[in-house]
Amino acid sequence: MNSKKFYFIKPEFMYMAGFYDRYGNRFSVVHEVHRTLIVERSPIEILADSIRRIGFDLRGAIATAKSILGDIQMCPIMVNPIHQICVFPTKSAKNDDTIWFNPNQIIRTKCCCQKTLVLLGNGRSILVPNKLSSFNTKLQNADQLKKITTEFRNNPVTFTIEPKRDRLDFVTKRVQKRKKYTDKMNKGK
């Protein structure tokens, strides 16, 4: 198993979980498609570093996700909109045993003993202590965030602001009155 001081989330990222070493230092186990790494940072620090790397911040990513999906608990986070990498937590981000998943790497989910068996793209699987319905809702929210964010990038929304009709009618009438007055004054000369 490789060990690194820093890690940036990339498309090969499958999931990660945090743990403490015997000295109380926070580490993360990061699973990619073809390798597993131990990183000397917490999962939240890895997320913050990865988002900061593309010019954004974790707070902004969370606020954006909540504004798009509504004020939901344990909302997914768009880590890299360029590579369409979105991650979601199995529990609160503040919880020590939270697992962060990349929905792009999840092939299927199944119920197993009131827990969720997650089948991954590289043929591996992991048993998550969440009910299937709860896990699938989080997965669906992450897919929805990714889809909406990608749609905004591909087809930006343009708004045209038109003036209020009442104000426009008032201005038009005023211009017409001035024109009549000016015409009267010009005829009188």
Tens digits of pLDDT across the chain (189 residues): 678 899 999 999 999 999 999 999 999 999 999 999 999 999 999 999 999 999 999 999 999 999 899 888 889 999 998 899 999 999 998 888 999 999 999 999 999 999 999 999 999 999 999 999 999 999 999 999 999 888 776 666 665 556 555 555 666 777 777 777 777 777 765
Q: Cα–Cα distances in Å, from 50 out to 109, 125, 126, 149, 157?
A: 27, 25, 24, 17, 27
CA pair distance 3, 32, nearest whole angstrom: 13
Question: Quick check: pTM over 0.85?
Answer: no
pLDDT at 153: 66
Instruction: Report the pLDDT value the prediction gives residue 62, as an integer from 0 to 100.
Output: 92
- Residue 126 burial by Cβ neighbours in a 10 Å radius (0-12, 13-18, 19+): middle
156, two tokens: 């930006």
The first and second tokens of residue 57, run together, are 């911040």
pLDDT at 159: 55
Residue 141 CA to residue 103 CA, distance in Å, equals 10
**pLDDT for the residue numbered 167:** 54
CA distance 157 to 89: 29
Strands (DSSP E) found in the chain: 2-4, 13-20, 26-32, 36-39, 77-80, 85-89, 99-101, 106-112, 115-120, 125-128
Query: Residue 33: what pLDDT?
Result: 94
- Return the pLDDT at 189: 58
pLDDT at 137: 94
The structure tokens 């007055």 sit at 181
Written as six digits, the tokens of 92 are 């609160």
Helices (H), 13-131: 43-53, 58-69
How many CB atoms are located within 10 Å of the residue 21 CB? 10
CB distance 130 to 90 below 8 Å? yes
